[in-house]
Amino acid sequence: MTHFRICNLCEATCGLRIETEDGVVTSIRGDRDDPFSRGHICPKAIALKDIQEDPDRLRWPVRRSDKGEWVEIGWDEALDDAAERMASVQRKHGRDALAIYLGNPNSHNYGSMLFAPPLLRSLRSKNTYSATSVDQLPHHLAAMLMFGHQLLLPVPDIDRTQFMLILGANPLVSNGSLMTAPGVNDRLLAIPKRGGTIVVVDPRRTETAEIAQKHLFIHPGTDAFLLASLLQVLFAEGLAQPGRLQGLYSSFSGLGDLFEDMTPERVAPITGIDSEAIRQLALEFSEADSAVCYGRLGVSTQVYGGLCLWMVNLLNIVTGNFDRKGGAMFPEPAIDVLRSVSRGHIGRWSSGVRGLPEFGGELPVSVLAEEILSEGAGRVRSLLTIAGNPVLSTPNGRQLDRALGQLESMVAIDFYINETTRHADLILPPTPPLERDHYDLVFNILAVRNVARYSKPVMKPAGDALHEWQILSELHSRLDRGGLGVRLRRIALSRLGPRRMIDFGLRTGPYGSLLPGRGLTLAKLEDSDHGEDLGPLRPCIEKRLQTMSRRIELAPSPFVLDLERLRSELETNEAISDRCLTLIGRRHLRSNNSWMHNFARLMGGKDRCTLLMHPEDARRNGLESGEQVDISSRVGQVTVALAVTDEMMPGVVSLPHGWGHDREGTRLSTAELYPGASINDLTDETRVDGLSGNAAFSGVPVRVVKAKEDGQKT
């Protein structure tokens, strides 16, 4: 049988053509007729078969016995037990004693997107955390303060731009992020083919930098200085032009004063980029027929993350490239999730120990461990994780690992016993991707083309398996303490199920109609193997803008105030010349955050969890390629093999994240073969973006020495 569906493993949402025989997957290929991905896939898609067939994957709920063994139990018992553990902690110690961590795959699972929020609302814990604060929180902050909604995230119009400036992203490997662009490789290569230019700014000469027309090395964590000086040049040279949206901008005049002192000459020693190169970059950007600045993970996970994303938007705005073909644009998805998600808020409460602000109802996950370890009334005593592995994914993971051992109870919704879920009392496994239907609610908000595709399940759920939404809905019904109205709404939603909610969303969305037989409906998408193409992005900010002032806010005061932090560093840091190495992360095409490392198909080849270092640094430290090195930071130490390469900037070393599978008690069959070491045993939970609280992974100071004992692991 042939099935068509979209891959939900990363943000690219590639269309797949899957063949099955007698319920077994026999091939997975790219769907050449998919209107968006046109046949592109990456090696991870094939591993959907591995997830389906993986003997390590849990099929039944498991409970840890007093002797520490995992025992399979039935669903009713598991759900009752899970709900009771959560409820009893909240009864005894208050609502905030239960923390929740939502991991990355929730955003790729429409069941979670629809059914986790009502459960969270009824739990009402201030200790709600997610992968957002180790990822894209600064993007949401900039969107909320400038455009009035945390999800109004501009995306680069990659298919039509003539100049793309990429800061801190490596789409050739990540397949694009906050820019859903399947086959991004071809889309990027098309830019120089039509006479355009790609410039990459990155402390490493990445795979993306290799195909760019220009690559500039930058010291980790200093992009805010670069962006400020690009703006300085544009204003000083009279090149800042508001363009078509002039009437929509607050306070365009006076904006340039904010950056007056951030000249290329002053920021050059900090960024490591020559002042002439900065000036030239500003000129090229402003002269291009169309241009877009795209900043991603490398700029959001740094100490000036918020400032960076604000200035990325400003650069697009002041060069007249905002909401314009070839510039930064807003998708118009068939289901407009913005209508049902809050616009966002910040600082309504703060974390107990360090006082970091909440954003959109969540605290920064960098504080989770200390909230568990602190003695005192507000202590977190129980944790629910949904699709996440924060022991490997969040800064100072070892501390969190220790903290999880001290919880009174922990429940995980996940299909693996991994470094985090091994601490749980109960694990509730949802169906794997191929056993469920799918409609992408999140990445269509970020897509470089408007499309709508619905994926039917490829196989029936095995046995009594429950979908994520069913688990969440069952837990909710056991924990619901809302009034009659809330309860009726919950019952109605669970009867409706996510499928019909999608239908409703489509009918009431911009391409739908409530009249029978008209507009986009679920039935229409079900009948169409490859989905619907809804066309290229169109200027639409006038319609989408949600600020109270009905203007695009160019200078929200939190950013203006935070510029002072940058300015004070400009003053103290100009002569920085210490020889400390700084650490950054990286991704690999055949790796997916902290999981999928147990599939031989993806893991073959060279050891990937290596430390990259520039030859000069290796020589100075007396180190050679291939030998084991001890890397240490304020918070810990790991041992990995060294790979010496001039793709690194001198003074900067790189290690991938998501590894460190040698912890005891996991059930991952290849953990011994491919353990790797966790970068987050080195990253520091006290390093956060002062404005948003997002983890600042980039630029952690480290020492690297020959390993005490070759091959020794810590």
Binding site for ligand SF4 (CB under 6 A): 7, 9-10, 12-14, 41-42, 44-45, 175, 182
| Of 245 and 384, CB closest to ligand MGD | 384
Residue nearest to Mo ion (CB): 135
CA distances from 20 to 27, 203, 454 (A): 7, 44, 19
The tokens describing 15, both together, are: 């269309």
How many residues does the structure list for the chain?
714
Residue in 34, 50, 81, 135 binding Mo ion, rule: CB under 5 A:
135
In whole angstroms, the minimum distance from the beta carbon of 132 to Mo ion comes to 9
DSSP secondary structure letter of residue 137? H
The tokens describing 408, both together, are: 């009174």
Binding mask 128-157 for ligand MGD (x = CB under 6 A): ---x--xx----------------------
> If binding is defined by CB under 6 A, does position 167 make contact with ligand MGD?
yes
The rounded distance, in Å, linking the Cα atoms of 477 and 472 is 9
386 binds, among ligand SF4, ligand MGD, Mo ion, none (CB under 5 to 8 A by kind): ligand MGD
By CB atoms closer than 10 A (0-12, 13-18, 19+), residue 145 is: buried
In whole angstroms, the minimum distance from the beta carbon of 708 to Mo ion comes to 34
The rounded distance, in Å, linking the Cα atoms of 182 and 204 is 24
225 binds, among ligand MGD, Mo ion, ligand SF4, none (CB under 5 to 8 A by kind): none
The tokens describing 697, both together, are: 């992974």
| Of 47 and 584, CB closest to ligand SF4 | 47
The H or E element containing residue 280 is helix 275-287
Identify which range of 129-137, 332-340, 604-612, 668-676 contacts Mo ion by CB under 5 A.
Answer: 129-137
| Of 90 and 592, CB closest to ligand MGD | 592
| Of 172 and 248, CB closest to ligand MGD | 172
Give the footprint of ligand MGD on residues 367-396 (CB under 6 A). 386-390, 393
Identify which range of 134-142, 220-228, 543-551, 689-697 contacts Mo ion by CB under 5 A.
Answer: 134-142
Pairing between β-strand 163-167 and β-strand 454-455 as defined by DSSP bridges: unpaired
The tokens describing 78, both together, are: 């598991």
| Of 415 and 454, CB closest to ligand MGD | 415
In whole angstroms, the minimum distance from the beta carbon of 400 to Mo ion comes to 18
In whole angstroms, the minimum distance from the beta carbon of 167 to ligand MGD comes to 4
The rounded distance, in Å, linking the Cα atoms of 385 and 464 is 22
3-state DSSP assignment of residue 325 = coil
In whole angstroms, the minimum distance from the beta carbon of 588 to ligand SF4 comes to 12
CA distances from 182 to 7, 70, 151, 266, 460 (A): 10, 40, 21, 39, 28
Residue in 197, 321, 455, 680 binding ligand MGD, rule: CB under 6 A:
680
Contacts of 527 (CB under 8 A, 6+ apart): none
In whole angstroms, the minimum distance from the beta carbon of 677 to ligand SF4 comes to 24
3-state DSSP assignment of residue 87 = helix
| Of 48 and 311, CB closest to ligand SF4 | 48
The tokens describing 113, both together, are: 């997107």
Identify which range of 201-209, 488-496, 569-577, 639-647 contacts ligand MGD by CB under 6 A.
Answer: 201-209
Which residue, among 67, 74, 73, 97, has the nearest Cα to 85 in the 3D structure? 97
Which residue, among 149, 172, 443, 179, has the nearest Cα to 292 in the 3D structure? 179
In whole angstroms, the minimum distance from the beta carbon of 576 to ligand MGD comes to 15
| Of 377 and 600, CB closest to ligand SF4 | 600
CA distances from 640 to 89, 220, 346, 451, 704 (A): 40, 21, 39, 43, 10
Q: Rounded to 5 degrees, what are φ and ψ at 439?
A: -140, 130
User: Which strands, in side-by-side order, build the sheet including 163-167?
Assistant: 214-216, 197-201, 163-167, 292-295
Give the footprint of ligand MGD on residues 501-560 (CB under 6 A). none
By CB atoms closer than 10 A (0-12, 13-18, 19+), residue 435 is: middle
Identify which range of 127-135, 343-351, 526-534, 680-688 contacts Mo ion by CB under 5 A.
Answer: 127-135
Pairing between β-strand 637-644 and β-strand 628-632 as defined by DSSP bridges: antiparallel
Give the footprint of Mo ion on residues 375-414 (CB under 5 A). none
The rounded distance, in Å, linking the Cα atoms of 452 and 506 is 9
In whole angstroms, the minimum distance from the beta carbon of 300 to ligand MGD comes to 8
In whole angstroms, the minimum distance from the beta carbon of 41 to ligand MGD comes to 12
326 binds, among ligand SF4, Mo ion, ligand MGD, none (CB under 5 to 8 A by kind): none
In whole angstroms, the minimum distance from the beta carbon of 136 to Mo ion comes to 7
> If binding is defined by CB under 6 A, does position 294 make contact with ligand MGD?
no
Q: Using H for helix, E for strand and C for coil, what is the string for 528-556?
A: CCCCEEEEECCCCHHHHCCCCCCCECCCC
| Of 309 and 541, CB closest to ligand MGD | 309
In whole angstroms, the minimum distance from the beta carbon of 124 to ligand MGD comes to 22
Residue in 371, 401, 468, 681 binding ligand MGD, rule: CB under 6 A:
468
Which residue, among 632, 685, 688, 622, has the nearest Cα to 655 in the 3D structure? 632
The rounded distance, in Å, linking the Cα atoms of 488 and 446 is 33
Which residue, among 379, 428, 416, 419, has the nearest Cα to 400 in the 3D structure? 419
The rounded distance, in Å, linking the Cα atoms of 79 and 150 is 33
| Of 521 and 632, CB closest to ligand MGD | 632
> Is 688 in contact with 711 (CB distance < 8 Å)?
no
Instruction: Look up tokens 């239960």; give the residue.
Output: 98
The tokens describing 418, both together, are: 């991994």
- Residue 377: half-sphere exposure toward Cβ, Cα within 13 Å: 1
134 binds, among ligand MGD, ligand SF4, Mo ion, none (CB under 5 to 8 A by kind): ligand MGD
| Of 185 and 628, CB closest to ligand SF4 | 185
Instruction: Look up tokens 């070759």; give the residue.
Output: 710
In whole angstroms, the minimum distance from the beta carbon of 294 to ligand SF4 comes to 18
Q: Report the C-alpha dihedral over residues 674, 178, 421, 494, rounded to 10 degrees.
A: -140
9 binds, among ligand MGD, Mo ion, ligand SF4, none (CB under 5 to 8 A by kind): ligand SF4
> Is 380 in contact with 348 (CB distance < 8 Å)?
no
Pairing between β-strand 532-536 and β-strand 2-6 as defined by DSSP bridges: unpaired
Identify which range of 28-36, 290-298, 616-624, 665-673 contacts ligand MGD by CB under 6 A.
Answer: 290-298
Give the footprint of ligand MGD on residues 629-668 (CB under 6 A). 657-658
In whole angstroms, the minimum distance from the beta carbon of 181 to ligand MGD comes to 11
| Of 324 and 590, CB closest to ligand MGD | 590
> If binding is defined by CB under 6 A, does position 174 make contact with ligand MGD?
yes
| Of 41 and 447, CB closest to ligand SF4 | 41
In whole angstroms, the minimum distance from the beta carbon of 487 to ligand MGD comes to 25
| Of 368 and 451, CB closest to ligand MGD | 368
Cα 129 from chain centroid (whole Å): 13
Which residue, among 358, 321, 366, has the nearest Cα to 342 in the 3D structure? 358
In whole angstroms, the minimum distance from the beta carbon of 170 to ligand MGD comes to 4
In whole angstroms, the minimum distance from the beta carbon of 40 to ligand SF4 comes to 7
| Binding stretches for Mo ion (CB under 5 A) | 135
| Binding stretches for ligand MGD (CB under 6 A) | 10-11, 103-105, 109, 131, 134-135, 167-171, 173-175, 177, 201-204, 206, 218, 220-221, 223, 296-299, 302, 386-390, 393, 413-416, 418, 430, 468, 584-589, 591-595, 657-658, 679-680, 683, 697-699
